[in-house]
Amino acid sequence: MNADSLNGRLLFAIPKKGRLHEKCLELLAGADVQFRRDHRLDVCLVKNHPIALVFLPAADIPSFVGKGNVDLGITGQDVILEAQMQAHVTEILKLNFGKCALQVQVPEAGPYQTVDNLAGKRIVTSFEVLAGQYFKPVDDRLNLTEDKRTKIEYVGGSVEAACALGLADGIVDLVESGDTMRAAGLHAIATLLQSEAVLIKSSVPKHVSLEPLISLITSRIAGVVAASRYVICEYNILREKLHDATAITPGRRAPTISPLEDEGWVAVSSMVEKNRVADVMDALVKIGAEDILIFNLDNCRV
């Protein structure tokens, strides 16, 4: 595939592997972005839109979007900050996956159990910039001389093994479930930032003619994200209890209310966050709601 075949197409960068890759593929399928990626090729053309998907390391995507010709990208908030691209890219949409924390970790039984204790020691990380920005004011506050300041060393993988293998006194690494951290005998003593996957575009529009397509794809992805977060809750309630019911299920904008043939009763339909479903149903039962039903969403526009 040559550069001419990409002319006039929206370039959309997707993480080629790692923790965000599979979720991104599900997101594209939900947004009806149809493509076939040949084995080992990192660029493929979308069948039903003038889009080319570019598969890149997640850490490189902010630079390609911010300073290159790539129009859209999906990556983590953490790597945007690490690449120092926050002035060059705009977060369009949080994607509700890839949530993690960038944390300072030390051996549970080790001698350094606070950030102040760890200052001046050896830190291993894949996030040199963010780790440096975090420890610099700590070193300054403790008046550490140049030769005594925190030493930050980059490694590209297996960061959690650095302490056990004698390379570091502490690490700065991403934590999702915390299972890997605990398995390595580490625990967190500070959090630098919380991160999740985001859809980004360049802060300076590159191809004005592609803006309608960017808006369309953004809208579709927003619909898929909303469908992953919400369910439809339907129930019947006495009209005199409607005020209490709609306080429990206010919906994104407002619930849909329909009269029933049974006088004094109404049917209510409302979007409810998935993680609140059990509590919402319990609260509705307490005020006398009946026939409470939950429906999953495959897709939506909100």
* CA–CA distance, 169 with 106 (Å, rounded to integer): 7
| Residue matched to tokens 């005594």 | 148
Contacts of 196 (CB under 8 A, 6+ apart): 76, 77, 94, 95, 96, 97, 98, 99, 100
The closest of 216, 229, 227, 302 to 12, measured between CA atoms, is 216
Residue 5: what pLDDT?
63
Residue 201 has pLDDT above 60, yes or no: yes
DSSP state of 35: B
Look over the chain and give the mean of its residue pLDDT values, rounded to a whole number: 93
Residue 205: what pLDDT?
85
* CA–CA distance, 157 with 170 (Å, rounded to integer): 15
Residue 4: what pLDDT?
57
Residue 139 has pLDDT above 60, yes or no: yes
The closest of 71, 151, 73 to 119, measured between CA atoms, is 151
Strands (E), 57-203: 72-76, 89-94, 100-107, 122-125, 151-154, 170-175, 186-195, 197-202
Residue 1: what pLDDT?
56
Neighbouring C-beta atoms of residue 118, cutoff 10 Å: 24
Give the CATH fold of the 231-296 domain. Answer: Alpha-Beta Plaits (3.30.70)
pTM of the model: 0.86
Q: What token pair was written down for 117?
A: 């204790």
Kind plus residue range of the DSSP H or E element containing 245? helix 242-248
* CA–CA distance, 206 with 142 (Å, rounded to integer): 46
Residue 298: what pLDDT?
87
| CA distances for 211 relative to 6, 51, 69, 217, angstroms | 16, 12, 14, 10
| CA distances for 280 relative to 172, 254, 277, 302, angstroms | 39, 16, 5, 21
CATH code 3.40.50.9100 for 3-97+197-206? no
Question: What would the mean pLDDT of 153-169 be, rounded to a whole number?
Answer: 92
Residue 74 has pLDDT above 80, yes or no: yes
Digit-coded pLDDT (tens) for 10-66:
999 999 988 889 999 999 999 999 998 877 789 999 999 999 999 999 999 999 999
- Give the largest Cα separation in the chain, rounded: 82
The closest of 120, 124, 99, 119 to 186, measured between CA atoms, is 124
Domain span(s) for CATH 3.40.190.10 in the chain: 3-97+197-206, 100-195
Domain span(s) for CATH 3.30.70.120 in the chain: 231-296
Residue 269 has pLDDT above 60, yes or no: yes
* CA–CA distance, 83 with 99 (Å, rounded to integer): 19
In this structure, the dihedral spanned by the alpha carbons of residues 150, 154, 158 and 164, taken in order and rounded to 10 degrees, is -30
Residue 252: what pLDDT?
87
* CA–CA distance, 221 with 52 (Å, rounded to integer): 16
Confidence of residue 141 (pLDDT cuts 50, 70, 90): very high
Question: What would the mean pLDDT of 182-206 be, rounded to a whole number?
Answer: 95
Residue 3: what pLDDT?
57
Superfamily for domain range 100-195: Periplasmic binding protein-like II (3.40.190.10)
